[in-house]
Amino acid sequence: MLLRMRGVSKSFGQHRALDRVDLDLARGEVVVVLGPSGSGKSTLCRCINRLETVDAGSIELDGEPLPQEGKDLARLRSQVGMVFQSFNLFAHMSALDNVTLGPIKVRRLGREQAQRRAMDLLERVGVADQARKYPAQLSGGQQQRVAIARALAMDPKLMLFDEPTSALDPEMINEVLAVMVELAASGMTMLVVTHEMGFARKAAHRVVFMDAGRVVEEATPQAFFTAARTERAQDFLAKILTH
Amino acid sequence: MSREPDVLFDVLGPRGRQRTRIATVVVVLVLAALLWLALRQFAVNGQLDGAKWQPFTSPPILRFLLVGLGGTLQATVVSALLAFPLGAALALLRLARSAPLRWPAAAYVELFRALPVLLLIYVFLLVLPQLGVRLPLFWQLVIPIVMSGSASAAEIFRAGVLSLERGQSEAGYSLGLSYWQTMRLIVLPQVLRQLLPVLVSQLITLLKETTLGYVVSFPELLHNGQTLGEYTQTLIQAYLVVALVFVLTNAGLSQLAVGIDRRLGTRGRRAPGSAGSASGQQRPGLQVRLDA
Ligand SMILES: Nc1ncnc2c1ncn2[C@@H]1O[C@H](COP(=O)(O)OP(=O)(O)OP(=O)(O)O)[C@@H](O)[C@H]1O
Ligand SMILES: [Mg+2]
């Protein structure tokens, strides 16, 4: 198992955002996480690269428990790529500099080598011609693709996507999903929070449904979308399908 | 490059424009009257006589004033070069996770923000010599200014860091950058850009605080102006000249800031503050292209 979560709980004050979550990801597996708002999907992602600390349970990446602090924690984070709902590109840097920052400062790569690789990645996500532009000069879809290139530049073992397309205008959603589908096909291990069923059907090996901080149901996309077992999942699907 | 529209005021309609014109005329008339009264008062008392202004055309006296200006600028620049980086470091310490870093920084900031610079100067002038520590005049002035200025700057930087969207630092951490790398490479550059106008007014405050140099007899502009005025018996004229030099210097500093801001203007805008975007409701696709 590349990622192994056991009994992970996390509370904010009185509120339990994660409640004894067990989750495994095999190498190369693509898992889509679904669930109503507030069910703990973002918290799940954030706990995996320790942007949130957990209260109980264990998380292991590649057989190693998550380090708590310092250099080891930074090293762990550099192996886990994260793509945010609001892109979070560094606003004062060009697209190219966004992508080369990690390799240069964390991996100590030479600037020239980092730039060559960054250009390849920007090419791969289809925004190489925008490399010199600043984030404010790019469309949302372009920004998110640069953000994906930035995460890929660290050669992550695992990529986390937290609703990568939900801040995008409809016409830009597909360009980002296409990049993610290609990434999934290339064998990347991915944990994707998204309500895009098209992506789940096309690229996911497994769907995980969360509610109130718990993993309520796990199934293949096919099984889940056609015949969800739990009532909550059926309610949820009915709601997103009517949209 | 188009600018964001001025959101403070609506564009005026015809009646509004009319009212603005009338107000402008009234204000100009009032100011002119005040100026005339002041000049008349000066003239009546003989303060406008050529003889009273004569000294300020002689090279040795000008040189003496220039030495004063030099002292002021030197003390200001050294104070700023020490106070601003120290302030930034204090702000980051105060925001750090570990309590042993946070506490001393918070204590320092709260203490020196509360104490008047004059009091600190007295400590260096009167108290420390009794303990056998006597610093050069320059440092008796600059160290107190730096102590208080770094505390103020720390609070400015801290507010700036907190106002930057949290996603910026989180994106840094998730690349594997350390806290200090994230602050240095991602947070501070954006915060500095945003704080530029505030830092300039902070710089002007430092400059004005160097006039406390008279307490330790450090030869700065005001001190030299005063000495000169007393010596040539033209105190009023000396103060007016000094005031004019201060105004021009500060205008120069503000202009410098505008220049820097404009040069950075074509570069990326900072990330939006945390208030609007934490919910993910923002539509970056719509707010972009102002610079394109
Ligand atoms: N920093 C925080 N402080 C306090 N409460 C939090 C914090 N982050 C999340 N929560 C709470 O934890 C619960 C789970 O939040 P989370 O963001 O993980 O949900 P989500 O499934 O991602 O929802 P959405 O679909 O709206 O993004 C919510 O009730 C939320 O209010
Ligand atoms: Mg969420």
Convert the pLDDT of each residue in A36-77 to its tens digit. 999 999 999 999 999 999 999 999 999 999 888 888 899 999
Percent over 70 (pLDDT), chain A: 100
Predicted local distance difference test score (pLDDT) of residue A200: 93
Between residues B254 and B79, the one the model is more confident about: B79
Among B79-88, B145-154, B159-168, the range scoring the smallest mean pLDDT is B159-168
B56 CA → ligand 2 middle, Å = 70
Which residues of chain B from 171 to 190 reach within 8 Å of chain A, CB to CB?
171-178, 181, 185-186, 189-190
User: Whose CA is closest to B190, among B221, B159, B161?
Assistant: B161
Could you tell me if A166 and B280 are in contact, meaning their C-beta atoms sit under 8 angstroms apart?
yes
More confidently predicted of B87 and B225: B87
Q: What CA–CA distance (Å, rounded) separates A8 from A213? A: 10
User: For A49-139, where are the alpha helices, taking DSSP H only?
Assistant: 70-79, 95-105, 111-124
pLDDT band, very low/low/confident/very high, at A8 (cuts 50, 70, 90)? very high
Interface contact A143-B292, CB threshold 8 A: no
For A99-127, what is the mean pLDDT?
95
Q: Dig out the tokens for B113 from the structure.
A: 């923000």
The pLDDT, as a whole number, for residue B269 is 53
pLDDT at B287 over 90: no
CATH number belonging to domain B52-267: 1.10.3720.10
Ligand 1 atom 16 nearest Cα: A40
Q: Judge contact between A205 and A224, C-beta under 8 A.
A: no
> What are B247-273's pLDDT values in tens digits?
999 898 888 888 887 777 655 554 544
Helix (H, G, I), strand (E, B), or coil: what is residue A216?
strand
- Cβ count within 10 A of residue B273: 14
Type of residue numbered A179: V
Going from the Cα of B2 to the center of ligand 1, the distance in angstroms, rounded, reads 38
Averaged pLDDT score across all residues of chain B: 83
Distance from CA of B282 to the nearest CA of A (A): 7
Range among A146-155, B3-12, B93-102 rated most confident? A146-155
Given a cut of 70, is residue A212 above it in pLDDT? Answer: yes
pLDDT at B286: 33
A123-132, A157-166, A194-203, B36-45: least confident range: B36-45
B98 touching A, CB under 8 A? no
Residues 6+ away with beta carbon under 8 Å from B274: B163, B164, B165, B166
Going from N- to C-terminal start, the domains of chain B cover 52-267
Nearest-neighbour CA in chain B from A89: distance (Å): 7
Which of these, A64, A30, A43, lies nearest to A221 by C-alpha position? Answer: A30
Q: What is the pLDDT of residue B254?
A: 86
Residue A180's nearest CA partner among A208, A160, A207, A154 is A160
Instruction: Identify how many contiguous H helices and E strands chain B contains and give both numbers.
Output: 14, 0
| pLDDT greater at residue B48 or residue B189 | B189
Which residues have any ligand 1 atom within 6 Å of their CB?
A 12, 15, 17, 35, 37-43
pLDDT above 90 coverage of chain A, percent: 90
Which residues lie near ion ligand 2 (Cβ < 5 Å)?
A 42
Residues of chain A neighbouring B4 (CB-CB closer than 8 A): none
The CA–CA distances, whole Å, from A54 to A32, A68, A92 equal 22, 10, 32
- Return the pLDDT at B282: 36
**Cα–Cα distance for residue pair B175/B173, rounded to 1 Å:** 5
Tens of pLDDT along B148-158? 999 999 999 99
Q: B8 pLDDT band (50/70/90 cuts)?
A: low
User: What pLDDT, on a 0 to 100 scale, did the predictor assign at position A69?
Assistant: 80
Give the span between the Cα atoms of B291 and B2, in whole angstroms.
7
How far B29 CA sits from the closest chain A CA (Å)? 47
pLDDT band at A150 (very low <50, low <70, confident <90, very high): very high
Query: Does the beta-carbon distance from A49 to B268 stay under 8 Å?
Result: no
Which pLDDT score is estimated for A148?
97
Cβ-Cβ contacts under 8 Å, B289 against chain A: 137
**From the CA atom positions of chain A, what is the Rg in Å?**
18
Task: Place A243 in a pLDDT band, splitting at 50, 70 and 90.
Answer: low
Separation CA A168–CA A140 (nearest Å):
6
Q: What is the mean pLDDT of residues B67-81?
A: 93
Q: Which amino acid is at B24?
A: T
Give the CA count within 13 Å in the CB-facing half-sphere of A211.
12
Cα(A199)–Cα(A27) distance, integer angstroms: 19
B273 touches chain A (CB under 8 A): no
- Give the dihedral of Cα atoms B269, B178, A55, B280; nearest 10 deg: 10
- Does any CB of chain B come closer than 8 Å to the CB of residue A155? no
**B221-232 vs B59-95: helix crossing angle, rounded to 10:** 150
For range B12-17, the mean pLDDT: 85
HSE, CB side, 13 Å, CA atoms: give it for residue A132: 3
Q: How many CB atoms lie within 10 A of CB A190?
A: 24
Burial B237-250 (b: 16+ CB within 10 A, else e): bbebbbeebbeebb
**Residue that the structure tokens 């920084």 belong to:** B105
pLDDT at B267: 57
Spell out which residues of chain B touch residue A138, defining contact as CB-CB under 8 Å.
Answer: 288
pLDDT digits (tens, 9 = 90+) for B114-154: 999 999 999 998 999 888 888 898 999 999 999 999 999 99
Mean pLDDT value across residues B12-39: 90
Tokens 């597996």: give the residue: A29
Rounded to two decimals, what is the model's pTM? 0.79
- Name the least confident of A217-226, B214-223, B265-274: B265-274
Task: Provide ipTM, 2 decimals.
Answer: 0.93
